[in-house]
Copies of this chain bind each other. A is one copy, B any other.
Amino acid sequence: MSIQESASARPAGRPRSEKAEKAIIEATLDLIAEGMGVSELTIEAIASKAGVGKTTIYRRWSNKEDLIVDALATLRAPMPKLPGTSVRDDLISLLEAMRRESGDTRGRCVMNIAMSEADRYPRLMERFLKRAVEPRRQAMRAVIERGVTTGELKPELDVDMGMALISGAMLWHTKWGPAGDLPSDLPQRVVDAALAGMAP
C-alpha cells in the first residue's frame, strides 16, 4: 500500500503535511534499516531524523506502533490488478508483485529486522500481517478457489497447501536463492511447477 493510499482513510492533507508525512515514514524506515529495534525507536528519534517536531508526528499517529505499521506497509508493492483470464495468469501477476518488492534492498532489510522482532512484539506484527499480508493471501486464495470451481484445478485440491507451495517457493528464492534480483521469469516458473501438481 502506498503512502497516498494509507493516508486516504484520513482527512485529505495539505501538500505540506503530505511532505512531512513522507519524511516521517522515511525516517522510521531508515532508523529500522540502521538496526534500531522497536524498543529503541522513539518518537523523539524519528522526529529528529525527519526534521519535524514531535507534535507533527502525533497529529497523524497517536503512538509508535501505529507509525511503524504504516511505515512497514509502504514497503509492500501495491496489490496488482489481476487479468482474470486464467488461474495461471492471475497467480503470475500476484507473484510478480512479490518479485518486484524483493528487489528493494532497503525494504528487504527493514522487513527482515521487523520480522525478527515478531516474537517480542506479537501485537504489532499481527497488525502488520493483517494490514499488508492478509489482503494478498485472500486474493491468492480466491484465485485458487475459483480455479477449483472452474475445473482448472483438481476438485480435491488442498487450497492451503497450494498457497504454501506457491508462496513458499517465492519466499525460498528470496531467502535462500542466489543473491541479487529475482529472475524475471521466476513467477512464471514457480506457477507452472506448482500447477503441474494442482491441475486435474
Contacts and interface: CB of A to CB of B under 8 A. Distances in A.
A119 B109 contact: yes
Contacts of A167: 168, 172, 176
Q: Assembly of this chain: how many copies?
A: 2
A57 to B, nearest CB: 24
A43 to B, nearest CB: 20
A115 B175 CA distance: 9
Interface in A156-200: 158, 161-165, 167-173, 175-177, 189-190, 193-198
Contact of A35 (B108, B120, B161): B120
Contact of A197 (B119, B170, B197): B197
Contacts of A118: 112
Contact of A198 (B108, B115, B169, B196): B196
Q: Which one of A158, A162, A168 has the greatest number of beta carbons of chain B within 10 Å?
A: A168
Contacts of A115: 112, 116, 175
A39 B36 CA distance: 12
Contacts of A196: 196-198
Contacts of A193: 158, 161-162, 164-165, 197
Interface of A: 35, 37, 39, 105, 108-109, 112-113, 115-120, 129, 133, 137, 158, 161-165, 167-173, 175-177, 189-190, 193-198
11 contacts: A35-B117, A109-B119, A112-B118, A113-B116, A116-B116, A129-B176, A164-B172, A164-B193, A167-B168, A167-B172, A168-B168
